[in-house]
């Protein structure tokens, strides 16, 4: 079966979806994207797309900030996502990438007076970081970009140069992931993940004002911690030293799921293994994203509706 992409307002074989070399977004990073997971449930032979409407609502907000005209509602985008996954028919975990971009074949740094377009494709996608053993992080020498440079709340492609700088520096120095501080020196987030610390049984995570992307997984974890474990999350600025003193630490993101952090800057976090609260949240999260917890089934959209049990 050919893999399909949504491109130029229609579904086409992915090999036929090609962009011109003058595309504005390629030159200036003028595009907004999302990452959405489809999680394969082998018992049900079903693919569950996680929180698709929330992802598309965030995409709409990113486009608003970037003056990209995206002529679909969040519901229409969700419908297109289900259709894309259905046409591809994968029977394994996938990652869906919607991208709204300045499609004009034009030179000139600006946001105004340029055509926009939207594309979307899906690829098989396993774990992004080691969710079992956990990962080793460093504090990056690169600072998280400020709201007055490129709004971090928007998932703008150009913004990801900042993440790529930090990620590669971390990797070249033998770490799995980077933790970026903002301009005030407060902990902001990972290169592609939000960060949580555990102190005395409570969760602590940086507020949106510390230049984070307001993650959908972050929101999921805050709700699960509260509803299922009775644990509150405190949103407050975090100092670098707290990274070293936390009882537990984990990263959250669509790609990263819930990834335990076992070491930061060559210092053990807690016991240097997956923490108790981290482990519980991880288990809850993995069941929910595969549609195995009826209480949270509204977050999961089946990609193969014909297989939904009557
Ligand atoms: N922070 C940044 C900078 C991110 O890129 C992401 C997601 C998150 C936080 C977490 O957001 P959410 O929980 O809504 O996914 N990053 C993308 C992802 O699909 C790309 C990562 C390589 O996970």
Nearest Cα neighbor of 248 from 266, 268, 230 is 268
Query: pLDDT tens digits for 11-20?
Result: 999 999 999 9
CA 251, CA 262: separation in Å to the nearest integer?
A: 11
Tell me, using a 6 A CB cutoff, whether residue 159 lines ligand 1: no
Which two structure tokens, joined as six digits, stand for 174?
A: 């033998």
User: Which residue stretches of the chain are H helix?
Assistant: 24-28, 52-65, 74-88, 160-172, 216-229, 240-245, 276-289
Residue 140 has pLDDT above 60, yes or no: yes
Q: Which atom of ligand 1 sits closest to the CA of residue 37?
A: 19
Q: Which atom of ligand 1 sits closest to the CA of residue 194?
A: 9
Q: What is the pLDDT confidence band of residue 306, given thresholds at 50, 70 and 90?
A: confident
Backbone conformation region of residue 114, classed left if phi is above 0, alpha if psi is from -120 to 50, else beta: beta
Residue 116 has pLDDT above 60, yes or no: yes
Mean pLDDT of the chain, nearest integer: 97
Tell me, using a 6 A CB cutoff, whether residue 252 lines ligand 1: yes
Beta bridge partners of 301: 49
Residue 209 has pLDDT above 70, yes or no: yes
CA 106, CA 91: separation in Å to the nearest integer?
A: 40
Residue 310 has pLDDT above 60, yes or no: no
Q: Which atom of ligand 1 sits closest to the CA of residue 34?
A: 19
State the DSSP string of 25-54: HHHH--EEE--EEEEEETTTTEEEEESHHH
In this prediction, residue 309 carries a pLDDT of: 63
Report the pLDDT averaged over residues 87-102: 98
Tell me, using a 6 A CB cutoff, whether residue 106 lines ligand 1: no
CA 92, CA 38: separation in Å to the nearest integer?
A: 8
In this prediction, residue 308 carries a pLDDT of: 79
Query: pLDDT tens digits for 154-196?
Result: 999 999 999 999 999 999 999 999 999 999 999 999 999 999 9
Residue 229 has pLDDT above 70, yes or no: yes
Report the pLDDT averaged over residues 117-146: 97
Q: What is the pLDDT confidence band of residue 305, given thresholds at 50, 70 and 90?
A: confident
Catalytic residue among 155, 167, 276, 292: 155
In this prediction, residue 158 carries a pLDDT of: 98
pTM more than 0.85: yes
Q: Of all protein residues, whose CA lies closest to atom 3 belonging to ligand 1?
A: 192
Tell me, using a 6 A CB cutoff, whether residue 98 lines ligand 1: no
292 classed as catalytic: no
For 251, which DSSP code? E
Residue 2 has pLDDT above 80, yes or no: no
pLDDT above 70 covers a percentage of the chain that reads 99
Query: pLDDT tens digits for 246-268?
Result: 999 999 999 999 999 999 999 99
In this prediction, residue 1 carries a pLDDT of: 57
Nearest Cα neighbor of 229 from 182, 186, 196 is 196
């Amino acid at each position: 079966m050919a893999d399909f992409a949504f491109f130029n307002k229609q579904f086409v074989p992915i090999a036929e979806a090609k962009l011109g070399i003058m595309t504005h977004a390629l030159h200036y990073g003028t595009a907004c994207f999302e990452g959405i997971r489809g999680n394969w449930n082998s018992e049900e032979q079903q693919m569950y797309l996680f929180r698709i409407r929330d992802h598309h609502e965030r995409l709409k907000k990113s486009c608003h900030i970037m003056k990209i005209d995206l002529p679909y509602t969040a519901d229409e985008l969700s419908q297109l996502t289900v259709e894309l996954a259905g046409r591809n028919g994968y029977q394994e975990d996938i990652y869906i990438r919607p991208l709204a971009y300045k499609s004009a074949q034009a030179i000139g740094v600006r946001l105004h007076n340029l055509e926009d377009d939207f594309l979307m494709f899906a690829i098989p996608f396993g774990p992004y970081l080691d969710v079992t053993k956990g990962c080793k992080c460093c504090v990056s020498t690169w600072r998280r970009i400020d709201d007055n440079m490129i709004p971090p709340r928007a998932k703008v492609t150009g913004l990801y140069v900042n993440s790529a700088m930090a990620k590669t520096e971390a990797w070249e120095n033998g770490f799995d992931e980077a933790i970026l501080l903002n301009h005030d020196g407060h902990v902001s987030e990972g290169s592609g993940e939000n960060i949580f610390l555990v102190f005395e049984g409570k969760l602590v995570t940086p507020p949106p004002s510390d230049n984070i992307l307001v993650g959908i997984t972050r929101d999921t974890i805050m709700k699960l911690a509260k509803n299922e474990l009775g644990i509150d999350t405190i949103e407050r600025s975090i100092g670098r030293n707290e990274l070293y003193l936390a009882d537990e630490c984990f990263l959250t993101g669509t790609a990263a799921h819930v990834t335990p952090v076992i070491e930061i800057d060559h210092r053990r976090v807690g016991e240097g293994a997956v923490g108790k609260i981290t482990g519980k949240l991880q288990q809850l999260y993995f069941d929910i994203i595969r549609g195995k917890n009826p209480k949270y089934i509204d977050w999961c959209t089946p990609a193969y509706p014909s297989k939904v049990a009557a």
